[in-house]
Amino acid sequence: MRVLTWNLWWRFGPWEERRKAILTVLDELQPDVIGLQEVWACGGENLAEWLASRLGMHWILAPSRAPQGWQRRLGDSTVDIGNAVLSRWPIAKHDMVELPTRQGDEDGRLALYARIDAPTYQVPFFTTHLTAALDASAVRCQQVGVLAEFVRAHRPGTSFPPVVTGDFNAWPDSDEVRQFAGYKAAPAVPGQVFLDAWEYADPAQPSATWSAANPYVAAGFEPSARVDYIYVGPPGPEGLGSVSSVQRVGDEPVDGVWPSDHAAVLADLRGPTDPQLRP
């Protein structure tokens, strides 16, 4: 099973050209399940449906219930924002949970769950987008606590380990990331751990998903960092759901257009019969 996570930079910048570039990348990579953050919806149209209709995928979108802060940044109160899941297979169930925020924040962070009705096994799949402020580690720790409980509640009923994707807005050595993973610090939910897919990456390959090589990022003069993640629970029977490969993608212009301010992360997970589903 091929899994991808990507923050699509909402409706900022040249969004009409960017969505075509995003589609090109996804069409070339052919992921089976996609977790998306900063997905826009406006006037009866939304980016998740637009992409899914062209890729032949199922989709769900969970809009934020507090988009006002985002809308002020864009200068348009008619555009909503949320998280989405696209899937090659039907989505049997779905749910969402709102995440804690700091007092006065109006960015409506959330986590979205989709039970993917894949061949042989159902897959508990999640995507989320944590608070971005550099000094908000304490809030992100609260958010991963809620996220971990949300995963715990929805993971039973299948041997396929839960897959958690998203933009955590946090470095790999941060308190919130270590707490969520649960194998380098006390886990947010006792006994529950998640393996960072990037642990399986070639150490020589570039890892920063928030990269100063991207002009959208360079304009803010922030350092490059890996802030986007694919997590998988411990492997099921005979390595079910374990990571066979992982790489950074969506990290260069398409016909001169950068698709997003974030690069995406792509991982191949082992299925029940073929340990290497893709070459």
Amino acid 279: pLDDT: 29
Question: How many folded domains does the chain comprise?
Answer: 1
Is residue 278, in this structure, part of any structural domain at all? no
Q: Are the C-beta atoms of 164 and 170 separated by less than 8 Å?
A: no
- Per the CB < 8 A criterion, the answer to whether 161 and 241 are in contact is yes
Q: What is the pLDDT along the chain (279 residues), one digit of tens a residue?
A: 999 999 999 999 999 999 999 999 999 999 999 999 999 999 999 999 999 999 999 999 999 999 888 889 898 999 999 999 999 999 999 999 999 998 777 789 999 999 999 999 999 999 999 999 999 999 999 999 999 999 999 999 999 999 999 999 999 999 999 999 999 999 999 999 999 999 999 999 999 999 999 999 999 999 999 999 999 999 998 899 999 999 999 999 999 999 999 999 999 999 876 544 332
DSSP-derived 3-state class of residue 132: coil
Radius of gyration of the chain (CA): 17
Residue 116 lies in a domain: yes
In a domain, 38, yes or no: yes
| Cα–chain center distance at 98 | 16
E strand segments, 64-179:
80-87, 91-98, 110-117, 122-129, 163-167
Distant-in-sequence, close-in-space partners of 80: CB < 8 Å, separation ≥ 6: 40, 41, 42, 46, 63, 64, 67
Q: Please give the pLDDT value at position 275.
A: 42
In this structure, the strands spanning 33-42 and 45-46 are antiparallel
Residue 232 lies in a domain: yes
Q: Is residue 279 in a domain?
A: no
Q: Determine, yes or no, domain membership for 195.
A: yes
Report if residue 83 sits inside a domain.
yes
Q: Is the dihedral of CA 219, 221, 225, 227 positive or negative?
A: negative
Structural domain including 204 reads 2-269
Helix, strand and coil content of the chain, in percent to the nearest 5, comes to 25, 30, 45
Of 222, 237, 246, the residue nearest 171 (C-alpha): 222
Q: Output phi, psi for 178, to 5 deg.
A: -65, -40
Asked, for residue 189, whether it belongs to a domain, the answer is yes
Token representation of residue 17:
């050209």
CATH of the domain at 132: 3.60.10.10
